[in-house]
């Protein structure tokens, strides 16, 4: 199997995989995920979009190989473990290990990495019908805003760049939201606006997220 087909592998996650295991970690922690089997050559994958998985790397006779140089700073593969370093909100996804059996990939348990939000999520109460302002935990000339939909993927709301006009990812958003500096204003808050919001900034092309904000209806 050539590298590309390993990297761009489509996994029918739920039908082929075995059990589902939940692993919980906190933001900033390093969390080890353990494959449900042992093999000299274990492949690790993560779900990047619904049912589409990307390869992270493999152990080959105990020497790990990463499918992209960037992945090496984020993940560490050893024996039957995948260490996910410095957890951030976007690490919350499904991970799979697999091995080759007669040329076929056999998957172990599916691991759902859950980011515990016990401490690190700010909660903001918002009154229905009011305008609500969310403030990003950092300042930056360019701030991106996202809202979580059904646990993932995150929906982009828009971004501000310096003092120029904000860019919204959907034409309707300009009337729903307003973006100024590091703030997101939600107009006329309704029950369906409740949920988890993230701000982010790009550092050398990588999105760094601020503290998630959970907005809940209430006074
Ligand atoms: C794993 O987490 C999901 C989502 O939080 C939950 O629905 C499911 O019940 C959990 N499964 C187990 C076995 O704890
Ligand atoms: C961990 O990630 C955060 C952003 O998510 C970053 O600010 C911090 O520097 C990282 N820490 C390490 C040790 O890489
Ligand atoms: C606010 O939203 C409600 C529905 O959630 C709508 O009935 C009302 O007209 C809206 N008010 C304004 C000022 O847009």
Contact 105, 37 (CB under 8 A): no
Q: Which range, 116-125, 134-143, 146-155, 205-214, is most confident? A: 134-143
The finding on whether 88 has its CB within 6 A of some atom of ligand 2 is yes
For range 187-211, the mean pLDDT: 87
Q: Which residue has the higher pLDDT, 158 or 26?
A: 158
Q: Which of these, 87, 114, 123, 202, lies nearest to 156 by C-alpha position?
A: 202
pLDDT at 3 over 60: no
Q: Judge whether 159 and 179 are in contact, CB under 8 Å.
A: yes
Q: pTM (2 decimals)?
A: 0.52
Among the bound ligands, the one closest to the CA of 200: 2
At 7 the pLDDT is 44
Rounded CA separation 98/165 (Å): 47
Q: Please, what sign has the CA dihedral across residues 149, 159, 121, 133? A: negative
Ligand 3 atom, smallest distance to 128 CA: 5
Neighbours of 102 (CB within 10 A): 5
* Average pLDDT, integer, range 170-188: 94
155 CA from centroid of ligand 1 (Å):
23
pLDDT at 152: 61
pLDDT at 118 over 80: no
* More confident: 7 or 58: 58
For the chain, percent of residues with pLDDT exceeding 90: 50
Ligand 1 centroid–CA 95 distance in Å is 15
Of 175, 192, 188, the residue nearest 127 (C-alpha) = 188
Within its chain, how far is the Cα of 74 from the centroid?
13
Nearest alpha carbon to residue 81 among 21, 46, 32: 32
Q: Which regions of the chain carry the CATH code 2.60.40.10?
A: 3-116, 122-217
Q: In the structure encoding, which two tokens stand for residue 159, read together?
A: 């971004």
Contact 48, 91 (CB under 8 A): no
Q: Could you give the count of Cα atoms lying within 13 Å of 154 in the half-sphere of its Cβ?
A: 22
Give me the CATH topology for the region 122-217: Immunoglobulin-like (2.60.40)
Is 203's pLDDT higher than 80?
no
Ligand nearest to the CA of 186: 3
Residue nearest to atom 13 of ligand 3 (CA): 188
Q: Is 52's pLDDT higher than 50?
A: yes
Residue nearest to atom 12 of ligand 2 (CA): 86
Q: Which 3 state secondary structure label does DSSP give 74?
A: helix
Residue 27 has pLDDT above 80, yes or no: no
Asked if the model's pLDDT at residue 6 lies above 50, the reply is no
Both ends of the chain: CA-CA distance in Å? 58
CATH class of 3-116: mainly beta
Mean pLDDT along residues 78-85: 93
Q: How confident is the model at residue 191 (pLDDT cuts 50, 70, 90)?
A: very high
Give the residue-averaged pLDDT of 87-107.
89
The pick from 188, 191, 192 for probing ligand 3's pocket by mutation, whose C-beta has the most ligand atoms within 8 angstroms, reads: 188
Q: What pLDDT is recorded for position 159? A: 94
């Amino acid at each position: 199997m050539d590298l590309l087909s390993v990297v761009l592998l489509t996994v029918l996650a739920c039908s082929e995989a075995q059990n589902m295991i939940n692993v919980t970690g906190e933001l900033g922690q390093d969390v080890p995920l353990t494959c449900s089997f042992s093999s000299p050559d274990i492949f690790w994958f993560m779900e990047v979009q619904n049912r589409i998985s990307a390869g992270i790397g493999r152990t080959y006779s105990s020497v790990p190989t990463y499918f992209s140089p960037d992945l090496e700073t984020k993940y560490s593969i050893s024996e039957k473990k995948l260490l996910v370093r410095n957890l951030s909100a976007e690490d919350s996804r499904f991970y799979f290990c697999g091995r080759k059996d007669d040329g076929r990939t056999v998957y172990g348990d599916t691991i759902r990495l859950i980011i515990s939000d016990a401490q690190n999520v700010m909660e903001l109460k918002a009154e229905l019908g009011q305008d609500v302002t969310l403030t990003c935990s950092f300042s930056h000339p360019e701030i991106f805003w996202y809202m979580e939909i059904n646990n993932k993927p995150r929906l982009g709301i828009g971004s501000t760049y310096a003092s120029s006009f904000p860019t919204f990812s959907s034409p309707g958003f300009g009337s729903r939201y307003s973006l100024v500096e590091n703030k997101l204003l939600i107009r006329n808050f309704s029950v369906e606006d409740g949920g988890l919001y993230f701000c982010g900034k790009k550092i050398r092309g990588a999105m760094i997220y601020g503290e998630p904000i959970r907005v809940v209806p209430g006074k």
